[in-house]
A and B are shown apart, each in its own frame.
Chain A
Amino acid sequence: MSKVWLIIKREYLSRVRKKSFLVTTLLAPLGLVLLMATQIFFMTRSAEEKTILLKDESGYFTETRGAGVQAKLKDEGTMKFKATKEDLEVMQENYAERGYSGVLYVPPIKNLKNPPDITFYSDKLLGLGSRMELEDKLALVLKNEKIKQAGLDQQTLEDLKTTVSIRENTGGEEGKESSSMIAAGISYIIGFIMYLSIIIYGTMVMRGVMEEKTNRIVEVILSSVKPFQLMLGKIIGIGGVGLTQFLIWIITVGILYIGMMFFVGLTVDPDTLNNAVNSGGGMAASGIDSGEMQMKMAEMLNSLSSINWPFLAFAFVFYYLGGYLFYSALFAAIGSAMGDDSSSSESQALVMPVTIPIIISFFILIAIMENPNGSLAFWSSICPFSSSIIMPARIAYGLSPFTIDFFLSVAFLIGGFIFTTWFASKIYRTGILMIGKKVSFREMAKWIRQS
């Protein structure tokens, strides 16, 4: 056992002491944030600013100001309007040269209950977001017009305003509530981290095994320790490197989270904020931007605090270890069977059967975002090939620790990595001594039978 400990220590220290460890530990979260920021950036960028010419023949959307006309539609967000009385056909020809995005033509409206189609002339499609925004704006104007015609007064209008918000309750033991949007985001991030880390650390094990084999040091080491000890030491040592990295991140996130709670708590009392949210957006209507911001923040923190963090952190560490042990043993076996030329297509073909289940698990993760408690989610979170990616994501979604899903998943994962380690060691101990020979799966199967 002391030998395994020596090997673990070497594998762990030789990696943690490297500058690249510090760099990746610090940069990986930044990279993740950057990746998401880029996504958000491109999403918002796609809605570029539009100025639209408005020709209104109904009179509902414009008002006459002296000689000209003024649009009643608000210039909000990315959309601006310029009312005009010019000839529609002329404008269709020259709107683009004049720097407009298109022409919105409103025909005369005889019956407000059944308005005719309003046409947008442009050589570019509006895009889904902009089109819905425009429809909302137009509908609002007509709605207000109807209210006016119905003779309702301002006070009645205010009274009519009603806001209802839905809170999802997952019905767990403690009755924790979680907002599904936030939960989806977090479970996606966690599944993604699991996926990445299994691939990254698994490959690290494989490269470590290959390094020893191509270096030829393995024979020296094996004259002191058993092949299984060497394999185990390497797997645990590298697993420790990953765990260290995660613990650093978990602690950092924990500190940031507490810091954020503290900061928001100081600025505005959360209860007030919650009341504001529940009582129907009085503040929002009055247009206080900072209040709106804080309210959203409070809403977010509220749903964050509804997640069972200690359980999630435990699951995160457990499934990282389980998934890593499950796959890294297989990666070690593959590494031992590889020849000196790791980039050759034969070597790549050897890795495929191990990486494909990991990649499929990631696709399953995306698929179950829609239905985190369906049968696909259930089976994939029990199968040890995918459970380490799927289960933590489901837990972030609010799965309780006291479910049959969780217990089965844990049991199968533990059984799974014991099996893969046993299975891999049979390939490993033969493969590691096969120098200068290309190995096929058929040959590996023979090693397993023979040992």
Chain B
Amino acid sequence: MNLLEIQGVTKTFDKNVAVNNVSLVIPDRCIFGLLGPNGAGKTTLIRMITNIIAPDAGNITLAGETRPQERMYKIGYMPEERGLYKKMKVGEQLMYLAQLKNLSKSVAKEKVDFWLKRFEIESWWNKKVEELSKGMQQKIQFISTVIHEPSLIILDEPFSGLDPVNSNLIRNEIYELRERGATIIFSTHRMEQVEQVCEEIALIHKGNKILEGSVDEIKNRFKENIFRIEFSGELPELPEVSEVSEVSEVSEMPFRTYDRKESEITLQLLDQHSPNDILRFFVEKGTEIRSFNEILPSINEIFINQVGGQSDE
């Protein structure tokens, strides 16, 4: 079942098309990565999902709900530019934000107590936000995002400015929330995080969606049939790396050499061959193989490849 369906959404500012006819489907209980360079239109898309701004065209449906006002209460949003009322006490602030999300006063109180206890910060209730460190403030911000148990949680660059300990804490909370039924949209340009955390991704570039799918599927789609072999002992005679193209065609080898080190060789499989052909080739030559792996491109490589190494700013 899909939690969020976005159909043909467009938003234009002045003459600049920020989001151009984007359609997305985000399955229930998924951790979804929304990727794109700075200025690609991610924030505009998120603002339309959270109903901060209205799209010029297109539909957004959240768990079957199309009414924007109702959608708001089912979403928890942590913007990239984070902020809290500095002079307000932690407890009052969380109570206020929770009630704005339609929780009753008593339920809000219960939730605030629960979360402060969970992060072992019950003593902060009466502290003013300005008295807290930046990392501490981030925790409060996170609590305010999830306090109303939204079915969709949107985190814009959630780890920016967090130390490794707090990053880990938030990461574990994200998994925990997913376990409890939430769907999470992650907006980031930090690709290593995407690979660690996300199951599905979409890539936005200049307001257009240029890629969508599961992380594994996308990696497979963009793989270049590159394999790495670790070995011990001697390798058979191979043509020089620089001569690869011409030589391999004559010599019936199933691959061309990509890179070669002391006890490791990286190869690209040629068309109409299978990986087994590579193995067979080396086994027949008497090479002692210690490992054989397919090298998939990183999301980062795919990303840079697709956007041509430019940011959209």
- Chain A positions within 8 Å of B, measured between CB atoms, are 3, 6-7, 10, 14, 211-212, 215-225, 433, 435, 446
Nearest B-chain residue to A224, judged by Cβ: B100
Q: A211 CA to B83 CA in the complex, in Å?
A: 10
* Assembled-state Cα–Cα distance A91/B146 (Å): 93
For B52, give its contact among A6, A433, A435 (CB under 8 Å).
A433
Contact, CB under 8 Å: A10 / B52: no
The answer to whether A223 touches B99, judged by C-beta atoms less than 8 angstroms apart, is no
| Chain B residues packing against A (C-beta within 8 Å) | 14, 47, 50-53, 72-73, 75, 77-79, 81-88, 96-97, 99-101, 144-145
A216 and B84 CA atoms in complex are apart in Å by 7
A-side contacts of B84, CB under 8 Å: 215, 217
Closest chain-B Cβ to A277's Cβ sits at a distance in Å of 56
Closest residue of chain A to B69 (Cβ to Cβ) is: A226
Which A residues are in CB contact (< 8 Å) with B75? 223
**Separation of A446 and B100 alpha carbons in the complex (Å):** 31
- Given known contacts A222-B52, A224-B100, is B77 in contact with A215 (CB within 8 Å)? no
Looking at the assembled complex, report how far the CB atom of A96 sits from the nearest CB atom of chain B, in whole angstroms: 62
Q: How far is the CB of B58 from chain A (nearest CB, A)?
A: 18
- Pairwise interchain contact B96-A215, C-beta atoms closer than 8 A: no
Q: Out of B53, B85, B99, B101, name the residue touching A217 (CB < 8 Å).
A: B85
Contact B97 A220 (CB under 8 A): yes
Shortest distance between the CB of A12 and any CB in chain B (Å): 13
A-B contact pairs, 24 of them (CB 8 A): A6-B96, A6-B99, A7-B100, A14-B87, A14-B88, A215-B86, A216-B81, A217-B85, A218-B83, A219-B47, A219-B79, A219-B81, A219-B83, A220-B78, A220-B79, A220-B83, A221-B100, A223-B51, A224-B72, A224-B97, A224-B101, A225-B100, A433-B52, A435-B81
With A218-B83, A219-B77, A433-B53 known, 12 other A-B pairs at CB within 8 A are A3-B100, A6-B100, A14-B85, A14-B87, A215-B84, A215-B85, A216-B79, A217-B85, A220-B79, A221-B100, A223-B77, A224-B101
- The total of Cβ contacts below 8 Å across the A-B interface reads 56
Residues of B within 8 A of A3 (CB): 100
When A and B form their complex, which 6 residue pairs have the shortest distance between CB atoms, in order from nearest? A216-B83, A215-B83, A216-B81, A217-B83, A224-B100, A219-B79
Q: Which residues of the partner chain B approach A211 to less than 8 Å between Cβ atoms?
A: 85
> What's the Cα separation between A211 and B84 when bound, in Å?
10
A10 and B96 contact, CB distance less than 8 A: yes
CB distance from A310 to the nearest CB of B (A): 39
Q: Please, which residue of chain B has its CB at the minimum distance from the CB of A443?
A: B14
Closest to B97 in A: A220
Q: Which residues of A contact B77 (CB under 8 A)?
A: 219-220, 223
Assembly CA distance A381 to B88 (angstroms): 41
Q: How far is the CB of A257 from chain B (nearest CB, A)?
A: 38
Return chain A residues, CB-CB under 8 Å to B50. 223
Q: Which of A14, A220, A433 has the largest number of chain B CB atoms within 10 A?
A: A220
Question: Is the pair A223, B52 in contact by a Cβ cutoff of 8 Å?
Answer: yes
Chain A residues with CB below 8 A from B83, complex form: 212, 215-220
Task: Across the interface, name the chain B residue whose C-beta is closest to A446.
Answer: B14
In the complex, A217→B79 CA distance in Å?
9
Contacts of A224 in B (CB 8 A): 72-73, 97, 100-101
Known: A14-B88, A215-B84, A433-B53. A220 touches B96 (CB 8 A): no
Most buried by A among B50, B83, B88: B83
Q: Which residues of A contact B96 (CB under 8 A)?
A: 6, 10
B residues in contact with A14, CB < 8 Å: 85, 87-88
How close is A155's CB to chain B, nearest CB, in angstroms? Answer: 79
| List of B residues within 8 angstroms of A433 by Cβ | 47, 52-53
Residues from chain B with Cβ under 8 Å of A6 in the complex: 96, 99-100
Most buried by A among B14, B85, B100: B100
Q: From residue B140, how far is it (CB to closest CB) to chain A in Å? A: 11
